[in-house]
Amino acid sequence: MIVTTTNSVEGYTISQYLRVVAGETITGINAFKDLGAGLRNIVGGRSASYEGEAVMARENALAEMVTRAQELGADAIVGVALDYSTLGANGSMLMVTACGTAVKLQ
């Protein structure tokens, strides 16, 4: 499946726009990762534990979106956008949404 942020796929013609497809993931950060990130916040530097959670959430959201497009018989998803939000009382949950337009190609 071709997945792109552009509105076209080079070398192909879009023959049919099927519909908007999306994938969502919500992940929580456990207390140990939160503690480690809090220390990083004090001393500076990157938080590998938070980065890992963000990468995993993004990949899960993209995979869910692709699955939904495959169910429609799509060849590609164009115009893909990602959105990141925090949820929960103290912002300890990360929501990642991926959306785009499922299309048929010629």
The model's pLDDT over 37-55, given as tens digits with 9 standing for 90+, comes to 554 455 555 666 678 888 9
6/18 Cα distance (integer angstroms): 16
Helix (H) or strand (E) holding 56: helix 48-71
Mean pLDDT over residues 92-97, rounded? 90
Could you tell me the residue range of the domain that residue 66 belongs to? 2-105
CATH classification of the domain holding 95:
3.30.110.70
pLDDT in tens, 68-78: 999 999 999 99
Number of separate domains in the chain: 1
> In this structure, are residues 97 and 33 in contact, taking their beta carbons and an 8 Å threshold?
no
Q: Give the pairing of strands 76-87 and 93-105.
A: antiparallel
106/9 Cα distance (integer angstroms): 10
The mean pLDDT value of the chain amounts to 87
47/25 Cα distance (integer angstroms): 20
**Residue owning tokens 């509105």:** 7
34: pLDDT confidence band, cut at 50, 70 and 90? low
